[in-house]
A and B are shown apart, each in its own frame.
Chain A
Amino acid sequence: MFEWKWEFVWEILPRLLQATGNTLIAAGAGYAIALVLGLILAIAQRSPYRVLTFVVREFVEFVRSTPLLLQIFFVFYVGPQFGVRLSPWASGMIAIGLHYSCYLSEVYRGGLDSVPRGQWEAATTLNMTTVQKYRRIIIPQAIVPSVAGMGNYLVGIFKDTPMLSVIGVAELIHTANAIGTENYRFLEPFTLVGLIFLAISLPAAGLIKVFDGLVRRKMGLK
């Protein structure tokens, strides 16, 4: 039987908390990319150009049906083959941002579809350009029903950051693994990582629910 050692916990906790910072930065940066790119993908699917719509649709399907881990390797290793060197952080952010942008585009798509036709027609009557219509009329209304879905993927992206450890991003799992191999003790580091994940993702999920309710009430929905 292996015993839990508190002194070892206190010894490694600062390092793990530092890695938690990296994990949060990775999740935040990846999410920022995904939020913007997802909106572009969602709007592109509504364009009148059939070829563009088709290509974007298939791209989203492709990315959503293949593993993120494989996409991270693809971005990291294929660049150098063609002379483009990307750091682990850069390729990690590209892969994770791209992966989640495809999920978010589906969330936005639902939101955009829920905006009533009359809003489009009213915007046209006011002689707005397409960009104005999206920016001032459609997107603000499409975001509200999307808040819950967007929040879920924020938690999702946070829980997927451990995959970045495979290309050497020093996030939580990578650090726990390093601590484990240095000290031949895996019980404390891996258990602590699990607890840190719980301590962040459970309150986050709760906050998202509260925030979603708040936004909906503010906009007079439900």
Chain B
Amino acid sequence: MGFIDFLVQYWPRLLSGAGVTVAQFLLAAVLGIAISISMGLMKLSQKAAMRGVAVTYIEIFRGTSLVVQLYWIFFVLPLFGLTIEKFTAGYLAVGMNIGAYGAELVRGGILSVPKGQWEAALAINMSPAQRMRRIILPQALVYMLPPWGNLMIELLKGTALVSLISVTDLMFEARQINSSTFLSAQVFGAALVVYYVLARFFVTPFMRWLERHMARKMGRA
């Protein structure tokens, strides 16, 4: 079967799979960003206990593999009475994993804000929370956005692993079609192209736009 005939016949399934992939990506991104900010800030905390929690979280999630985390959340947590539906388990695992990597980026971004900015905020009598929210974080964001672009691509690729717990994403649909038709080159080729298009023409341009937009807002364009 030619590639065009194949697409004509199977595009609805590939499209619905791609939809699930995009949903997983967006949910995991929101979760990952929230975890990154909270863990990144905690790692910079004055309190040793807070730092301890952040370091433990980051080392555990960066030290083990995403597949292991996914299986643990999906197969082991139910044994403790915490059953998580597979779609939720999917983006939870991917988001928590990316959050550990993102936390280091947040920490690095905050540390690269010049000392004078901290002192100036203190001089005009801002509370630590105000200082962080109004002065430090917006500037840190500009510093850390370029590496976040790469991390978002890693996140998109990471969502392919949710197929291992039978979430019906693009990877899962591709495997299903492959096992019923054996048109491997067509189906896996098409899936590769879809992932590439999502990464190269959606995620990356959006992150570049965000970088430029934020830099302009901060008067650095």
Decide if B129 is an interface residue (CB 8 Å cutoff): no
Contact indicator B189/A73 (Cβ below 8 Å): no
Give complex CA distance A187, B66 in Å: 17
Q: Does B192 contact A (CB under 8 A)?
A: yes
> Would you call B87 an interface residue if the criterion is a C-beta within 8 Å of the partner chain's C-beta atoms?
no
Q: Is A54 close to B, CB under 8 A?
A: no
CB within 8 A of B76: which of A73, A78, A81, A190? A190
B79 contacts partner chain A, Cβ-Cβ < 8 Å: yes
- Given that A62-B196, A198-B60 are known contacts, is A77 also in contact with B184, CB under 8 Å in the complex? yes
Given contacts A1-B80, A69-B171, A77-B188, contact A64 B153 (CB under 8 A): yes
The interface size bin for chain B is 35 or more
* Other-chain contact of A67, B69, B160, B182, B200 (Cβ < 8 Å): B160
> A5: shortest Cβ distance to chain B, in Å?
12
| Tally of chain A residues near chain B (CB < 8 A) | 41
A2–B80 contact, CB under 8 A?
yes
Known A-B contacts A66-B192, A190-B75; A201 and B160 likewise in contact (beta carbons under 8 Å): no
Chain A interface, >50% SS class: helix
Residue of A nearest to B71 (CB): A190
A contact set with B: CB distance below 8 Å: 1-2, 61-62, 64-71, 73-74, 77-78, 80-82, 159-163, 165-166, 173, 176-177, 180, 186-187, 190-191, 193-194, 197-198, 201-202, 205
B residues in contact (CB < 8 Å) with A: 59-60, 62-69, 71-72, 75-76, 79-81, 153, 156-161, 163-164, 171, 174-175, 178, 182-185, 188-189, 191-192, 195-196, 199-200, 204
